[in-house]
Structures are given as C-alpha cells and as structure tokens.
C-alpha cells in the first residue's frame, strides 16, 4: 500500500522515496597519484561519513516519514527536507545509542528534526561549544 503524503510544495511520499537521501557523495579518481586513487567523499554532514546499511537507511526514511506525518511537518525546499532528514537521522542515532540503564530517557518528539542549537535557543539552554573560561583580571 502506498501512502500519498503531501510534504513540501507538492512533494509526495512516492516522489521523496525516489530520492537517494544520503547518496550525495562525489568519488574522485586520478591516474597520476596513487594517493589520489582513494575515494574522496564530500558528504552533506558528518553523519554521512558513518557507514550504514541499506536496511538501516530504509528504516530511518520510514521513521522520518512517520515523524513528518505525525507532527504535520512541511519543508519548503528539497534542500530543507534533506537537511531536516539528516538532523533527524543524527538525533535518532543518539537516541538509539543512549544506554537503557541511564537515569533518563530519550525519544522522538516534535523537535526531532531540530539541531541542538535550534532547540537550545527555544529552551534558553543554548551553550557555546569550545567556550573557554575567562581568566581572572581579563
């Protein structure tokens, strides 16, 4: 059964499934230098560097489509859709890597396609990475 979910500017679940969401790699081969013979990847984000199976990617796409439907998300461009999917993937992987024995739980919610910085601005808990404390007298 195929769901015809309208997402961004007329995109449907069927048309989105035709996209290869993490297939944005460029492979560079040259014949002059052995070092350049290795593949060079240019991913959209760090999570694309992680090697994932097609089954895992398909599961993440399905969860994202469910998320989009459940929280009535819409994205104006293909680029925004791609970005939000990648953020969702990163957050989903953090959730899955979170130990069950921890004294708090993580899960999907309406902010699962937001970056930590975006959520921090909303909640007032924004923190600057690599912030060094000031020395006394400076």
Residue 85: other Cβ atoms inside 10 A? 23
- Judge whether 67 and 73 are in contact, CB under 8 Å: yes
Domain spans of the chain? 13-98+109-123
Q: Quick: pLDDT tens for 89-100.
A: 999 999 999 998
Which runs of E-coded beta strand occur in 12-119?
Answer: none
Alpha carbon 105 to chain centroid, angstroms: 20
Residue pair 86/48 in contact by the 8 Å Cβ criterion:
yes
Pair 60, 25: CB distance under 8 Å: no
Q: What is the pLDDT of residues 53-76, one digit of tens each?
A: 899 999 999 999 999 999 999 999
Is 65 within 8 Å of 5 (Cβ atoms)? yes
Total length of the chain: 138
Tokens matching residue 35: 């070092």
For residues 60 and 15, give the distance between their C-alpha atoms in angstroms, rounded to a whole number.
17
Residues β-bridged to residue 6: 12
pTM of the model: 0.55
pLDDT at 103 over 50: yes
**SS3 of 6, please?**
strand
- Which pLDDT band, with edges at 50, 70 and 90, does 132 fall under? low
Contact (CB, 8 A) for 115 and 87: yes
């Amino acid at each position: 059964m195929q769901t015809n979910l309208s997402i961004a500017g007329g995109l449907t679940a069927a048309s989105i499934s035709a996209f290869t969401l993490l297939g944005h790699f460029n492979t560079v081969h040259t014949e002059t230098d052995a070092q350049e013979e290795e593949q060079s990847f240019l991913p959209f984000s760090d999570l694309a560097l992680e090697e994932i199976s097609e089954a895992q990617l398909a599961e993440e796409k399905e969860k994202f489509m469910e998320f989009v439907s459940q929280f009535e998300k819409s994205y104006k461009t293909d680029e925004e859709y791609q970005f939000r999917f990648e953020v969702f993937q990163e957050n989903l992987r953090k959730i899955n890597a979170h130990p069950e024995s921890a004294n708090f739980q993580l899960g999907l919610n309406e902010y699962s396609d937001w970056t930590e910085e975006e959520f921090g601005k909303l909640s007032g808990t924004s923190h600057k990475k690599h912030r060094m404390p000031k020395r006394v007298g400076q």
